[in-house]
């Protein structure tokens, strides 16, 4: 939120709140004489109860409305407002808002003032009274019930309204907070009514006889909610662990991890570092919730920044506010970050990475969230190692060990998938295939040796990759055969690419250092290639027919006509 908007909020509160309180005092004319001890006792009780909130998202749910309910029924609106406002201040002291978040205090004071007044007007409109007369008749259940419902409804729907208008955040009108409000109201408001009844009968002793159990109930509700929250986090953690155990590459593992972390933890920034040497680590994944920072290129040593300090100390750290870690700031530290969790990723008792998350709020994390991140960090360490093993195994099964190009198994699978996609989506574009075979390659092996032949194949693969770039998918299809698939290329474009490839091959000889010739220095080996071109849907209807047509064009149109040339399947059809 901008500084200007915060100033406006404080000015609005400074103008509206005192005038409203003074106006209500004049209108309601509350009687303090003879009631001061009881009112102070209620204030103390409400303040203690406010120290046991349930944290639902960004909004704490607390149980002082039970105490305020009893005060309203007996003493009236003004004292209920005093109780509610003091309870809010006690809650603020409990959650320890940072200086940058203090603007939330006037917002909540005004919101609860508004809720109290509107609910009271509903109560008065239905004939509600105060003191012992509040429950004189059976019909009094109507204003009392409507007052309680007004409190719940106004409280719940004012929160998303304020989020949308002031914070510019989208928030659901009915969410978990609404459910918890209903559940706590179903428990707390009846207790508040009992507190009113006992106080009416026994006076201040009734506050202690009901208030002490009320405090215990608030504490137990908070513990129950926290326990449920921990269990929910552990369940989420287990599911994330299962997700990370699939056959995934490193990128997929990091994508899943970051997505889940930002969904279950209150994070504004995520940094994941990979330890690449004994004194160096690099950033491999970054997340910025605001979207204002691009993926930075960060390389850190030990003791540098929060992450480097975690690496050096070899232990997890939790900083609740910026002043605790300001000595670790560097050029890449988020300017508005406050809370920080930083943990090492360990594998086989060795630190292999660092996870550091930042929140723009002070004291944003609980101890159990620290534990959750540690567990997930261990999952991530195992998942990344498995992903790298999977990528190596996958590459070995898909790649030619000599040339580094895709092998024929991968290529045929890719070709089949491409044609299935074309058929499924009913695409009408062209797909061309270029097939080349080195001319007289056996004589190269016989003259210079098989090691030289391998050198030529590896060098040719490099030339083809340089010539093609990212325009198509290149594979070693056989011993000395190479194939290039060009989606979106028509016959003319594919033929032009084939001629370009031929020029790259014959443009200069290949060097061989492992030859068997009786000479010093490298041997210069000149080779040529016969190239065939076919295009879908002009020359075929099926995926593997495209290979067959290019193969026919290469053998009949190029090799049988003298080699070292490009032949298209259309030319072959004309000849036939």
Pairwise pLDDT comparison (68 vs 33), residue with the higher score: 68
pLDDT over threshold 80, residue 372: yes
The structural domain count of the chain equals 3
pLDDT for the residue numbered 342: 93
pLDDT confidence bin for 149, thresholds 50/70/90: confident
Instruction: Say whether both 136 and 10 belong to one domain.
Output: yes
The answer to whether position 397 is within a domain reads no
pLDDT over threshold 70, residue 175: no
d(CA 474, CA 471): 9
pLDDT for the residue numbered 298: 86
Q: Which of 391, 426, 458 is the last residue of a domain?
A: 391
The answer to whether position 243 is within a domain reads no
CB of 365 within 8 A of CB of 341? yes
pLDDT for the residue numbered 54: 63
Q: What is the mean pLDDT of the chain?
A: 85
d(CA 475, CA 76): 84
pLDDT confidence bin for 364, thresholds 50/70/90: confident
Instruction: Say whether both 151 and 262 belong to one domain.
Output: no
Q: Is the dihedral of CA 90, 95, 100, 106 positive or negative?
A: negative
Instruction: Say whether both 26 and 147 belong to one domain.
Output: yes
Phi, psi for 284 (deg, rounded to 5): -110, -15
pLDDT over threshold 80, residue 427: no
Q: Which of 175, 205, 233 is the last residue of a domain?
A: 233
Question: What is the pLDDT averaged over residues 35-55?
Answer: 82
Instruction: Say whether both 221 and 275 belong to one domain.
Output: no
pLDDT for the residue numbered 26: 92
d(CA 402, CA 478): 12
**pLDDT tens-digit map of 228-268:** 777 877 888 888 888 888 778 888 888 888 888 888 888 99
Q: Which of 233, 268, 296 is the last residue of a domain?
A: 233
Active-site residue numbers? Answer: 480
Picking from 388, 427, 434, 438, the residue whose alpha carbon sits closest to that of residue 411 is 434
**pLDDT tens-digit map of 468-506:** 988 999 999 988 999 999 999 999 999 999 999 999 999
**pLDDT tens-digit map of 286-302:** 999 888 877 778 888 88
The answer to whether position 239 is within a domain reads no
The answer to whether position 451 is within a domain reads yes
Instruction: Say whether both 361 and 428 belong to one domain.
Output: no
For residue 358, CA distances in Å to 53, 313, 326, 355 come to 24, 19, 13, 10
Pairwise pLDDT comparison (203 vs 175), residue with the higher score: 203
Q: Which two tokens stand for residue 2?
A: 């901008």
pLDDT for the residue numbered 88: 87
Instruction: Say whether both 63 and 167 belong to one domain.
Output: yes
**pLDDT tens-digit map of 106-139:** 888 888 899 999 999 999 999 989 988 888 888 8
For residue 413, CA distances in Å to 246, 252, 419, 535 come to 21, 21, 10, 18
Question: What is the pLDDT averaged over residues 360-383?
Answer: 85
pLDDT confidence bin for 332, thresholds 50/70/90: confident
d(CA 573, CA 552): 10
pLDDT over threshold 80, residue 181: no
pLDDT over threshold 90, residue 179: no
pLDDT for the residue numbered 449: 94
Q: How far apart are the first and last CA of the chain?
A: 76
Instruction: Say whether both 297 and 419 belong to one domain.
Output: no
Instruction: Say whether both 314 and 341 belong to one domain.
Output: yes
pLDDT for the residue numbered 209: 80
Instruction: Say whether both 378 and 420 belong to one domain.
Output: no
Rounded to the nearest 10 degrees, how much is the dihedral formed by the CA atoms of 13, 16, 18, 22? Answer: -160
Instruction: Say whether both 286 and 432 belong to one domain.
Output: no
Residue recorded with tokens 């704490």: 60
CA 468 to chain centre: 37
Pairwise pLDDT comparison (431 vs 232), residue with the higher score: 431
Q: Which two tokens stand for residue 37?
A: 């001890």
Radius of gyration from C-alpha coordinates of the chain: 37
Q: What is the domain-level CATH number for residue 457?
A: 3.30.70.270
d(CA 245, CA 348): 18
d(CA 153, CA 161): 12
pLDDT for the residue numbered 172: 59
**pLDDT tens-digit map of 271-288:** 999 988 888 899 988 999
Q: Is the dihedral of CA 351, 357, 363, 365 positive or negative?
A: negative
Picking from 404, 377, 388, the residue whose alpha carbon sits closest to that of residue 250 is 388
Pairwise pLDDT comparison (160 vs 117), residue with the higher score: 117
pLDDT for the residue numbered 118: 93
The answer to whether position 75 is within a domain reads yes
Beta bridge partners of 347: 350
Instruction: Say whether both 498 and 452 belong to one domain.
Output: yes
The answer to whether position 403 is within a domain reads no
Per the structure, the complete domain to which residue 16 belongs is given by 3-233
Instruction: Say whether both 385 and 416 belong to one domain.
Output: no
CB of 337 within 8 A of CB of 327? no
Question: What is the pLDDT averaged over residues 554-562?
Answer: 91
Report percent pLDDT > 70 for the chain.
92
pLDDT for the residue numbered 350: 85
pLDDT over threshold 80, residue 167: no
DSSP string, 165-181: HTS-----SSSHHHHHH
For residue 198, CA distances in Å to 142, 195, 261 come to 21, 5, 49
**pLDDT tens-digit map of 60-113:** 666 787 888 889 999 999 999 999 999 888 888 777 766 767 888 888 888 889
């Amino acid at each position: 939120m901008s500084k200007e908007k915060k100033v406006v909020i404080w000015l609005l509160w400074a103008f509206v709140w005192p005038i409203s309180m003074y106006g209500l005092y004049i209108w309601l004319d509350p009687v303090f004489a003879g009631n001061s001890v009881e009112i102070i006792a209620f204030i103390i009780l409400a303040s203690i109860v406010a120290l046991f909130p349930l944290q639902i998202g960004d909004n704490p749910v607390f149980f002082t409305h039970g105490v305020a309910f009893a005060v309203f029924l007996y003493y009236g609106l003004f004292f209920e407002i005093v109780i509610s406002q003091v309870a809010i201040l006690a809650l603020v002291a409990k959650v320890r808002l940072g200086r940058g978040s203090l603007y939330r205090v006037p917002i909540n004071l005004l919101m609860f003032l508004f809720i109290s007044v509107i609910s009271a007007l509903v109560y008065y409109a239905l004939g509600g009274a105060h003191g012992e007369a509040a429950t004189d008749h059976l019909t009094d259940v109507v204003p009392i019930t409507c007052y309680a419902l007004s409190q719940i409804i106004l409280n719940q729907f004012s929160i998303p309204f304020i989020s949308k208008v002031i914070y510019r955040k989208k928030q659901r009108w009915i969410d978990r907070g609404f459910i918890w409000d209903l559940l706590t109201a179903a428990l707390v408001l009846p207790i508040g009514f009992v507190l009113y009844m006992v106080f009416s009968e026994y006076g201040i002793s009734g506050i202690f006889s009901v208030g002490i159990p009320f405090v215990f109930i608030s504490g137990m509700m908070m513990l129950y909610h926290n326990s449920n929250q921990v269990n929910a986090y552990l369940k989420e953690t287990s599911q994330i662990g299962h997700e990370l155990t699939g056959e995934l590459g490193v990128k997929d593992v990091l994508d899943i991890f970051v997505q889940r972390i930002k969904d279950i933890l209150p994070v504004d920034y995520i940094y994941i570092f990979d330890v690449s040497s004994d004194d160096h680590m690099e950033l491999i994944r970054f997340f910025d919730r605001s979207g204002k920072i691009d993926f930075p290129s960060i390389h850190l040593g030990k003791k540098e920044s929060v992450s480097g300090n975690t690496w050096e100390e070899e232990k997890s750290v939790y900083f609740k506010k910026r002043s605790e870690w300001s000595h670790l700031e560097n050029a890449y530290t988020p300017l508005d970050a406050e809370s920080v969790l930083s943990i090492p990723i360990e594998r086989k008792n060795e630190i292999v990475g660092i996870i550091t998350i930042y929140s723009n709020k002070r004291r944003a994390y609980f101890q159990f969230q620290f534990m959750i991140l540690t567990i997930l960090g261990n999952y991530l360490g195992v998942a990344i190692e498995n992903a790298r093993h999977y990528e190596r195994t996958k590459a070995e099964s898909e790649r030619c060990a000599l040339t580094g190009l895709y092998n024929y198994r991968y290529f045929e699978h890719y070709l089949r998938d491409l044609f299935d996609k074309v058929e499924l989506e009913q695409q009408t574009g062209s797909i061309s295939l270029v097939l080349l075979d080195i001319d007289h390659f056996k004589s190269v092996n016989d003259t210079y040796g098989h090691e030289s032949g391998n050198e030529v194949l590896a060098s040719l693969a490099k030339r083809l990759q340089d010539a093609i770039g990212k325009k198509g998918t290149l594979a070693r299809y056989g011993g000395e055969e190479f194939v290039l698939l060009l989606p979106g290329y028509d016959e003319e474009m594919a033929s032009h690419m084939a001629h370009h490839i031929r020029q790259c091959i014959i443009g200069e000889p290949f060097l061989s250092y492992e030859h068997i010739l009786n000479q010093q220095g490298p041997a210069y080996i000149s080779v040529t290639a016969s190239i065939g071109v076919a295009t879908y849907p002009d020359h075929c209807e099926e995926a593997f027919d495209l290979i067959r047509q290019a193969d026919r064009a290469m053998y009949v149109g190029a090799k049988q006509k003298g080699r070292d040339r490009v032949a298209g399947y259309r030319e072959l059809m004309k000849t036939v």
